[in-house]
């Protein structure tokens, strides 16, 4: 190679490197603007709210996300160490359907339990600021689920993410940053399809994701009764909560669960809540229409944002979030969920609630003493099936539907020291996968990859 060509090549490579750096900076942001966004202090109003609730600015946080209601809750520890709700934020946009993220391009936002470390905080986001959920977690990986860059971010635009406004994500980001500054090494995100109440469980009782959601509800209930961040592990391809494996054993996401125990105080309280919820579900079901499994709307948007997008007044919904003005967002960036008119124009069915089915009470079972491994389930234990397109919960949760099949006994004990519902859930680990697999067919939207690599 001649010397002029060598010089040109080196110059060309340098120019390409500079161009690439500039392009990356344009995508992610850099310099003072990034620092300014990521280091915005908590507002005086937020500092005052924290003080009113007997919290400290740098105390630990926990986040709960609810798809159907399009809400994000930030919880924070009080001076007594228990978590209390600090603030509820309306979610500007989420995509997909209710149900877990299964594969790249399905537009589904994650559901499950995710642990956020400082390394998952992104000040260079194309969407103002973002918090990476860390999807796929150990549970997701045990099912071979794929996807990346599933975020909570700004810009009110989503393809598999939970999109807030820039104003909202700045405050949420600051709360997380301060908790890390105060010594919290990681915080938990609990991403739920909806508030796991008896009413909502009754409405969605025929959804093929119900076995998976019952597993999520176990963790939801642990937090509800303890007001402490539940310790989350995965074994037998299901979540287990506040569990301590037997001496010399450990949890493996893809292997059968070992013997383990849960503290008596937690196991007893969760068991009581589950029995009460199941009884209420049984009472509600005959009068509760079943929610559609698939809406074809491509996700949801909190009513206050939808009203603003339509130029409508939303005083009532705003009052639920403090009555202030709706956080600003750029309508040009937002693709709202499909309306009934759009569904009809596209030749898609407009969701209508079908006739309700009967939800029989799940028969009770004797509780095992906490700290004692539970024996393997009997051969007539029922698990969910989806051959008919809807799950048959049978005796497991008392749902109507297709005939359930017996589960063969296993050599491993079910959830030691847990409430009966958990021991059944532990023995029926495959049931969660059954619902999730069916969901990938029933809920899979057309693959769309969002700009900037988010929502894969």
Beta-strand pair 244-245/260-261: antiparallel
- Nearest in space to 221 (alpha carbons), one of 267, 187, 258, 175: 267
- The answer to whether the beta carbons of residues 205 and 197 sit under 8 Å apart is no
The whole-angstrom separation of Cα 420 and Cα 430 is 17
Length of the chain (residues): 456
- The answer to whether the beta carbons of residues 86 and 55 sit under 8 Å apart is yes
Which distant-in-sequence residues (6+ apart) come within 8 Å of 406 by Cβ?
379, 380, 381, 382
Which positions are catalytic? 153, 161
Which distant-in-sequence residues (6+ apart) come within 8 Å of 142 by Cβ?
234, 237, 253, 254
Residue showing tokens 């938990």? 188
- Work out the burial of residue 186: count CB atoms within 10 Å of its CB; fewer than 13 is exposed, 13-18 middle, 19 or more buried: middle
Peptide bond into 18 cis (omega under 30): no
Structure tokens at 421: 């519902």
Neighbours of 454 (CB within 10 A): 24
The whole-angstrom separation of Cα 82 and Cα 85 is 10
The whole-angstrom separation of Cα 162 and Cα 192 is 12
Determine the straight-line distance between the first and last CA of the chain, rounded to whole angstroms: 43
């Amino acid at each position: 190679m001649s010397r002029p060509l060598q010089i040109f090549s080196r110059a060309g490579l340098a120019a390409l490197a500079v161009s690439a750096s500039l392009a990356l900076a344009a995508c992610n942001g850099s310099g003072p603007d990034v620092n300014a966004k990521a280091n915005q202090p908590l507002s005086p109003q937020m500092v005052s709210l924290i003080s009113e609730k007997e919290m400290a600015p740098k105390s630990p946080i926990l986040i709960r996300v609810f798809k159907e209601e399009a809400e994000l809750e930030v919880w924070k520890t009080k001076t007594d160490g228990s978590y209390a709700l600090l603030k509820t934020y309306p979610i500007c946009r989420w995509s997909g359907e209710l149900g877990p993220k299964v594969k790249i391009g399905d537009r589904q936002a994650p559901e499950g339990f995710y642990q956020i470390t400082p390394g998952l905080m992104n000040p260079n986001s194309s969407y103002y600021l973002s918090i990476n959920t860390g999807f796929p977690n150990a549970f997701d990986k045990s099912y071979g689920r794929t996807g990346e860059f599933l975020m909570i971010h700004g810009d009110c635009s989503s393809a598999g993410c939970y999109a807030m406004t820039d104003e909202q994500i700045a405050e949420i980001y600051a709360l997380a940053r301060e908790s890390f500054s105060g010594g919290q090494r990681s915080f938990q995100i609990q991403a739920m399809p909806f508030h796991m109440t008896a009413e909502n469980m009754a409405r969605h009782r025929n959804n093929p994701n119900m076995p998976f959601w019952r597993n999520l509800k176990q963790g939801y209930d642990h937090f509800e009764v303890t007001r402490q961040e539940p310790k989350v592990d995965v074994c037998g391809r299901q979540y287990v909560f506040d569990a301590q494996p037997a001496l010399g054993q450990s949890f493996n996401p893809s292997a059968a669960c070992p013997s383990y125990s849960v503290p008596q105080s937690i196991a007893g309280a969760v068991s009581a809540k589950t029995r009460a919820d199941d009884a209420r579900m049984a009472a509600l079901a005959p009068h509760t229409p079943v929610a559609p499994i698939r809406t074809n709307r491509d996700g949801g948007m909190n009513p206050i944002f939808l009203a603003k997008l339509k130029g409508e007044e939303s005083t009532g919904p705003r009052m639920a979030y403090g009555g202030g003005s709706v956080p600003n967002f750029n309508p040009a960036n937002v693709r709202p969920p499909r309306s009934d008119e759009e569904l009809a124009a596209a030749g898609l069915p407009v969701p209508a609630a079908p006739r309700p089915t009967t939800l029989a009470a799940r028969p009770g079972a004797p509780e095992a003493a906490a700290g004692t491994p539970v024996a393997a389930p009997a051969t007539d234990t029922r698990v969910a099936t989806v051959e008919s397109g809807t799950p048959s919960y049978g005796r497991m949760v008392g749902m109507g539907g297709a005939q359930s099949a017996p589960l063969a006994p296993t050599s491993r004990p079910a959830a030691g020291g847990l409430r009966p519902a958990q021991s059944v859930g532990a023995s029926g680990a495959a049931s969660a996968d059954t619902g999730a697999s069916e969901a990938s067919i029933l809920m899979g939207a057309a693959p769309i990859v969002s700009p900037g690599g988010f929502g894969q």
